[in-house]
Structure 1
Amino acid sequence: MPKSSQYGLSEAQVDKFIDHGYVALEGAFSSSVARACRDIMWTAMGLSPDRPEEWRQPVIRLGFMTQQPFVEAANTSRLHAAYDALAGEGRWIPPQGLGTFPVRFPSHDDPGDTGWHVDMSFGTDNPDFMQWRSNVTSTGRALLMLFLFSDVGPDDAPTRIRVGSHHMIARRLLPRGPEGMTLQELAQDGFGGAETCDEVLATGRAGTVFLCHPFIVHTAQPHRGTQPRFMAQPPLLPKGEFDPSLPPSPVQIAIRKACGLKF
């Protein structure tokens, strides 16, 4: 396992990631970068923080952003060290931007996207997202990441995370080999019993990043606060396929531990 002094995460943080499926890094990027990114997103939506009467939709989705503040947010030295620590040194592609962005606004309306799910990592050319796939080696995805660009409290539509659910997904995927399973198949059996897991909310100050195991079960929720919530939910992309000749990363250790394999 990577040493904390080399990679910027404590051994306790790495152990938490393996067991719980996530680790939260406060101050992973600066508040000034977060503010610059929010300004760009306000412009992209054609809205203003000073005109709340125009915030009529519960959620507005923005695509991939490549402007410099987004690249800077995703590539701080602290985050690069954490990527190495969790996904394996040099086994990931530096993000060239961030996206997508579900910008959530205070609303009593149903946003229509609050179902529990796992972010699938391949087969995404299928127009039916329920047919997108994941497999036990997490082809196409090294991490799920939640970048907070605004302060997020319990009422501000924080993502709900099922603690330890990545273990259940790993066990479901193992028998299916490289072809894996679709999101529909995983959902049909309740994500391997993940409803029994404890929940945690992805809250924090702007600049916080939640680095999550690719198999973590999570969901959005309605916004019951007063200020819009700005968040990106990108993958960290791997450089290549799983290589059994390399020492297992904490992402892989978590999978092997869940499946009762040596690590």
Structure 2
Amino acid sequence: MPYAAYDDAELMRIQSETLYLLDGRRRIIGINEPSQAAETAVFVGTTRFGREVLVAADMPDPMEEELRMQCERGTNMSIVQMSKTIETYMPVKQIWVGPAYVFPDKPIEPAADPGIVFIDQSNADLLETYFSEIKSELEERLPVIGCVIGDTAVSVCCSARTSAKAAEASLSTASDFRGRGLAAKAAARWGWEIRRLGRIPLYSTAWDNLSSQRIARKLDLYQYGTDFHITIQRNRL
């Protein structure tokens, strides 16, 4: 069922403000992560109500206008044409397209499971074997939920980016432990914890990541739109 508190367009706007740091004109000045790298040239979030379009703050005005026109030409937005337009500005690094989901607005608390652990500084060593990069950014990634076997977290769901209203999930499982349903358990608990903190838990993935989409279906997440963004290779100029 659709998310009750906000419509799809509002959820997409909230997601865009969670993913990116924006200036007064709602142009992208960086990603909402510790590195704040400003590699995104354009972000397009499409819902049944329309499109949320963000461009890089240093994009020339004529190019921004051209990109927005391309996004507004009916439903047949051309990713190829947009990429060619951006290539006249800076080299395209990556094109990313995929569904955007939200967790249920009234989730059921996951059943108690001793293998699903809230990870903070007191037990951060659980991350050392497979998720040392999360351990090094632990405070920025809270809440961090681990599926633990022995003394090691083998699947982790944490916050990739957080805003006042929402948090975007980051989900990863060590290769030897995939296909066991562990990621879904970690994600369910993360979503519940985000709700408990008064934020909206968001989850997005790529169209070619079929396992991630299966997790979304298993957790009964609601797809409110589709994300598309193009990143650029600034250091080549």
Normalised to the residue count of structure 1, the TM-score between the two structures is 0.26
